[in-house]
Amino acid sequence: MVSLWLASQSPRRAAMVKAVVANATCKGLEGVDETPSSFGSVSEKVLSICQQKAKAVPQDHPFDVVLVCDTVLADPDEVDLILGKPSDALEAASMLHRLSGRRHQVWSAGGIMVRGQWNFFVEHAVVEIEALSDEALVELVLNESWKGKAGGYDLAGPMGAHAKLVDGSETTVLGIPQEVMDILGSLV
């Protein structure tokens, strides 16, 4: 049986990984700078964060496979700007208001180390959020489903009632590129 470490604090990623590798260890890395590079495309920026996480993985870990991930949204108005995780309820409300009634791209990068060798994958998907009423926006902020979520929402959570996947993989939107999920499936 393969031993796998998902180096992430995301409960959503943990659920996806444990559905494939039930005995996976899901524990985030401490003290990783998640500041993206200040230049390049959204794809390059999310990849740079993922690679920073990979560099923070201790060399002496006991696992057969290690997985690091990051997810960001492309700003619907400025394609090379990213929307990360909101820091508070006001920023979450601002992000959700900006996304309301619009389509946007969600980018996920995943790094998977098998037998000491890292491979990285970047994928994007397109999500459309309906025009949110004031009541829906307030509810999404007050229920705190935005915490720890790129763009301030979780497609598999309360936002699922207001958003739909237009193109790409749901796993990409939820935080792990589909290609990485396919590799995990081939390891078990």
Which is catalytic among the residues 60, 64, 70, 75?
Answer: 70
Query: Does 70 qualify as catalytic in the annotation?
Result: yes
Please name the helix (run of DSSP H) or strand (run of DSSP E) that holds residue 4, with its range, or none: strand 4-6
The tokens describing 171, both together, are: 């796993």
Whole-angstrom Cα distance, residue 136 to residue 131? 10
Measured in whole angstroms, the distance separating CA 179 from the mean position of its chain's CA atoms is 14
Whole-angstrom Cα distance, residue 113 to residue 4? 10
Which amino acid belongs to residue 104?
Answer: H
Residue with tokens 């790409």: 168
Write down how long the chain is. 188
Q: Where are the alpha helices (DSSP H) in the chain?
A: 11-20, 42-55, 89-99, 134-142, 170-174, 178-187
Active-site positions read: 70
